[in-house]
């Protein structure tokens, strides 16, 4: 992950992500004031430029301080003149008298350059800048009383948004913020070397001056990463040596990684599950790209990922498809690392990450999701959006418990599942089945307060939503089985899908179609058919005023052992008789259910939770088709 970030960072302009823009509205007349120290004529004057957004970058305006407000301001471009000098005006006529403040930004900059020199971090360009600044300091600041600041009138004072330090020497104007030495200087200031010493950089491997503490900004992934590294330090010691031997980074690597992370946060960051957390996409670029191509590819990869997240994302992706260059992507941006995390005010919470996802896998995943969602929507003749199975929808299928701290959900199970999907790697079937049955419990027993990611339906809709959720879960299973992420049921006998021929009846034909679509095994079909009859009985009970459908109490939502299934089958037969539901088709369903259950009696003993899932799926099917008008209500 770090090497991917670093490769990206090498392609970025370090300053791109940290430039600030003064708050200037379109069309407003504002100025950047060049404060010109004329070394030839020994005078100071204002030379304004009309402010445009490009100027912030041109003069490297990055804010007065980087980490803490109490930090001494050492900048050559600032938004406030008070860091350089103050007016001595006491309301009298002469308003051009100014004096330098004690801790002025020029002297502060010089002090830091001196520090860097001491640490062996200074560059020749920085030394050059330092020389100009010392001459300036000697001439104007040291021991001076007041100076006249020419050309800086009340009007300009009001309209100025930025100030930048310049000198005029031998008739030539030098804008110091554009001096190469100033770029070197800022990189170091932001790099905050703190304490450096000779060591080996753990990122690039060179022996050079390394930082004892990389001091990545709080609220970034990098902070988490280095903390983890420190966690590996052997022994109780947190001494410099221990840290140094575990994680040391040189200023250059730190800069590159920092700018890459800035870029990812800006351009390759997607909210998931209604912005409860984000996915950050870190590209593994093969070769240096121009900024334009990099930006273009970033937006394409982001779109491709978004299509995996939500149906709206899919639509957007398809709209953008004509500009899409898969070839370019494959050649220059083969893989990416996906980081799931949650930015919080003071820190970043890393949830999980998946390394080396080939971009082509994103496309494969999207096609699988689209395929299965299409099947679902044509089966139930409903909109594609309501059956889409992107990450944001899957979030509504996996009940997540509130963590120990009370309000926060435990995201881990969800991001683990996403990680498996992104890497097409195995996810335990039994765990998924447990979630499916838990989902049914959330609806049946109204546990929405505990599992608050499952939206609470209106009371009247509750049964319908339970059914829809379970059917959707069937498609989700199908998706993961097709992807090879989840294996088929352990109990399944490899005998192919038993085909029941019952084309005569529309209702039964639909069941047959469902079995083919889902690829149910014999046992699963038997359980489903029994569950289907639970739905029939439940409907009759509902019509007679039993809104809770007491037949559902015969299903243990935690799991159905074989004996319980047998008892249920007897109960169903009795209820079918009691409610006069033994029609020809129900009789045939019952017959097939019993035949299949008896045939697979041994398998029925294997996994009670799976039994419950397929029973409930049958119930859901019968009820949902009826409620959504797929069959008449009577
Ligand atoms: Zn390095």
Tens of pLDDT, residue by residue over 90-144, are 655 555 789 999 999 999 999 999 998 998 888 999 999 999 999 999 999 987 7
According to DSSP, the β-strands at 277-285 and 333-343 are: antiparallel
Confirm if 310 and 393 have CB atoms less than 8 A apart. Answer: yes
Ligand 1 geometric centre to CA of 255 (Å):
9
Q: Which residues surround ligand 1, an ion (CB under 5 A)?
A: 201, 203-204, 250, 253
Whether the pLDDT of residue 193 is over 60: the answer is no
CA–CA–CA angle 533, 534, 538 (5° rounding) = 115
Res 494: pLDDT: 52
Residue 108 backbone zone (phi > 0: left; psi -120 to 50: alpha; other: beta)? alpha
Res 1: pLDDT: 77
Confirm if 618 and 534 have CB atoms less than 8 A apart. Answer: yes
Report DSSP letters for 282-333, one per residue.
EEEESS---HHHHHHHHHHHHHHHHHHH-HHHHHHHHHHGGG--HHHHHHHE
Res 493: pLDDT: 47
Confirm if 55 and 162 have CB atoms less than 8 A apart. Answer: yes
Summarised one tens digit per residue, pLDDT across range 509-534 is: 899 999 989 989 899 999 999 999 99
Ligand 1 geometric centre to CA of 554 (Å):
65
Ligand 1 geometric centre to CA of 243 (Å):
16
Whether the pLDDT of residue 326 is over 50: the answer is yes
Q: How much of the chain exceeds pLDDT 70, in percent?
A: 86
Res 360: pLDDT: 86
Confirm if 26 and 277 have CB atoms less than 8 A apart. Answer: no
Ligand 1 geometric centre to CA of 176 (Å):
29
Res 323: pLDDT: 66
Q: CA separation (Å) from 534 to 240, 504, 516, 554?
A: 68, 22, 22, 9
Ligand 1 geometric centre to CA of 62 (Å):
24
Ligand 1 geometric centre to CA of 252 (Å):
6
pLDDT (average), residues 407-427: 88
Which range is least confidently modeled, 16-20, 60-64, 447-451, 613-617?
A: 16-20
Report DSSP letters for 267-281, one per residue.
HSEEEETTTTEEEEE
Residue 281's pLDDT band, with cuts at 50, 70 and 90, is: very high
Confirm if 541 and 572 have CB atoms less than 8 A apart. Answer: no
State whether residue 504 is helix, strand or coil. Answer: coil
Confirm if 483 and 365 have CB atoms less than 8 A apart. Answer: yes
Count of CB atoms situated within 10 Å of the CB of 71: 13
- Select the highest-mean-pLDDT range: 274-278, 349-353, 630-634: 349-353
Helix (H) or strand (E) holding 6, with range, is helix 2-10
Ligand 1 geometric centre to CA of 308 (Å):
36
Ligand 1 geometric centre to CA of 256 (Å):
9
At CB < 8 A and 24+ separation, what contacts does 269-276 make?
A: 270/302, 270/305, 270/306, 270/309, 272/309, 272/340, 272/391, 272/392, 272/395, 273/391, 273/392, 273/395, 273/414, 273/453, 274/392, 274/395, 276/342, 276/395, 276/409, 276/411, 276/453
Report the candidate in 615, 459, 447, 623 with the shortest Cα–Cα distance to residue 541: 623
Res 380: pLDDT: 93
Report DSSP letters for 164-229, one per residue.
EEEEEETTEEEEGGGSHHHHHHHHHHHH---SEEEEE-TTT--EEEEES---PPTTSHHHHHHHHH
Res 218: pLDDT: 60
CA distance 571 to 586: 14
CA distance 582 to 591: 11
Q: Which residue has the higher pLDDT, 92 or 472?
A: 472
Ligand 1 geometric centre to CA of 248 (Å):
8
Whether the pLDDT of residue 328 is over 80: the answer is no
pLDDT (average), residues 498-503: 69
Confirm if 141 and 107 have CB atoms less than 8 A apart. Answer: yes
Ligand 1 geometric centre to CA of 305 (Å):
31
Summarised one tens digit per residue, pLDDT across range 7-36 is: 888 888 878 777 888 988 888 899 999 999
Summarised one tens digit per residue, pLDDT across range 54-69 is: 999 999 999 898 766 6
Ligand 1 geometric centre to CA of 333 (Å):
23
Tokens encoding 192 = 């905050």
Ligand 1 geometric centre to CA of 206 (Å):
6
Ligand 1 geometric centre to CA of 297 (Å):
27
Average pLDDT, the chain: 86
This prediction's pTM: 0.79
State whether residue 129 is helix, strand or coil. Answer: helix
Ligand 1 geometric centre to CA of 184 (Å):
16
pLDDT (average), residues 464-492: 89
Tokens encoding 624 = 């949902």
Confirm if 532 and 590 have CB atoms less than 8 A apart. Answer: no
Ligand 1 geometric centre to CA of 488 (Å):
48
Ligand 1 geometric centre to CA of 436 (Å):
48
CA distance 39 to 48: 19
Res 489: pLDDT: 64
Ligand 1 geometric centre to CA of 205 (Å):
6
CA distance 600 to 139: 97
Summarised one tens digit per residue, pLDDT across range 535-550 is: 999 999 999 998 889 9
Ligand 1 geometric centre to CA of 329 (Å):
28
CA distance 606 to 421: 27
CA distance 523 to 492: 7
Res 623: pLDDT: 95
Count H helices, E strands: the chain? Answer: 24, 15
CA distance 479 to 485: 9
Which range is least confidently modeled, 305-319, 394-408, 474-488, 533-547?
A: 394-408
Q: What is the DSSP letter of 390?
A: S
Residue 632's pLDDT band, with cuts at 50, 70 and 90, is: very low
Res 272: pLDDT: 87
């Amino acid at each position: 992950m770090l090497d991917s970030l670093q490769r990206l960072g090498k392609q970025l302009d370090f300053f791109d992500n940290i430039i600030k823009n003064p708050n200037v509205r379109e069309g407003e007349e504002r100025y950047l004031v060049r404060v010109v120290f004329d070394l030839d004529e020994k005078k100071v004057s204002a030379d304004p430029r009309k402010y445009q957004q490009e100027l912030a970058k041109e003069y490297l305006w990055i804010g007065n301080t980087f980490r803490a407000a109490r930090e001494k301001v050492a900048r050559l471009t600032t938004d406030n003149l008070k860091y350089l000098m103050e007016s001595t005006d006491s309301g009298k006529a002469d308003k051009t008298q100014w004096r330098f403040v004690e801790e002025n930004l020029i002297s502060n900059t010089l002090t830091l350059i001196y520090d860097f020199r001491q640490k062996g971090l200074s560059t020749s360009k920085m030394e050059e800048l330092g020389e100009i600044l010392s001459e300036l300091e000697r001439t104007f600041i040291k021991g001076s009383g007041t100076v006249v600041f020419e050309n800086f009138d009340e009007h300009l004072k009001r309209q100025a948004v930025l100030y930048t330090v310049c000198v005029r020497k031998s008739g030539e104007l030098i804008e110091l913020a554009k001096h190469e030495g100033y770029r070197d200087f800022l990189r170091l200031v932001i790099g905050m070397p703190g304490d450096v010493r000779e060591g080996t950089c753990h990122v690039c491997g060179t022996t050079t001056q390394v930082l004892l503490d990389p001091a990545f900004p709080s609220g970034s992934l990098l902070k988490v990463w280095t903390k983890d590294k420190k966690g590996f330090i052997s022994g109780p010691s947190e001494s410099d040596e221990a840290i140094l031997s575990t994680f040391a980074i040189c200023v250059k690597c730190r800069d590159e990684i920092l700018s890459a992370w800035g870029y990812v946060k800006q351009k390759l960051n997607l909210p998931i599950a209604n912005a409860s957390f984000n996915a950050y996409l870190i590209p593994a670029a093969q070769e240096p790209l121009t900024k334009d191509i990099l930006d273009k590819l970033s937006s394409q990869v982001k779109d491709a990922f978004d299509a995996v997240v939500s149906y709206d994302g899919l639509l957007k992706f398809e709209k953008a498809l004509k500009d899409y260059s898969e070839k370019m992507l494959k050649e220059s941006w083969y893989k990416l690392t996906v980081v799931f995390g949650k930015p919080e005010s003071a820190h970043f919470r890393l949830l999980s990450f998946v390394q080396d996802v080939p971009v082509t896998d994103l496309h494969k995943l999207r096609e699988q999701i689209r395929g299965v969602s299409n099947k679902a929507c044509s089966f139930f003749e409903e909109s594609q959006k309501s059956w889409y199975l992107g990450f944001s929808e899957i979030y509504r299928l996996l009940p997540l418990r509130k963590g120990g701290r009370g309000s926060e959900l435990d995201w881990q199970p969800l991001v683990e599942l996403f990680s498996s999907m992104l890497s097409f790697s195995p996810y335990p079937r039994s765990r998924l089945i447990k979630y499916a049955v838990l989902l049914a419990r959330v609806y049946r027993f109204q546990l929405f307060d505990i599992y608050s990611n499952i939206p609470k339906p209106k009371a009247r809709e509750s049964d319908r939503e339970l059914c829809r959720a379970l059917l959707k879960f069937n498609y989700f299973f199908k998706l993961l089985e097709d992807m090879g992420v989840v294996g088929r049921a352990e109990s399944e006998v490899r005998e192919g899908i038993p085909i029941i021929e019952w084309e005569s009846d529309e209702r039964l034909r639909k069941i047959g179609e469902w079995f083919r679509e889902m690829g149910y095994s014999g046992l699963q079909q038997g359980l489903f058919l029994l569950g289907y009859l639970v739905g029939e009985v439940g409907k009759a009970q509902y019509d007679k005023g039993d809104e809770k459908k007491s037949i559902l109490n015969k299903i243990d939502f935690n799991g159905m052992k074989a004996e319980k299934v047998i008892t249920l089958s007897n109960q169903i037969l009795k209820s079918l008789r009691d409610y006069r539901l033994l029609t020809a088709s129900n009789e045939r369903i019952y017959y097939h259910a019993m035949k299949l259950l008896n045939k697979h009696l041994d398998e029925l003993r294997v996994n009670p939770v799976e039994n419950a899932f397929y029973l409930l799926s049958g119930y859901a099917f019968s009820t949902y088709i009826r409620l959504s008008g797929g069959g008449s209500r009577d």
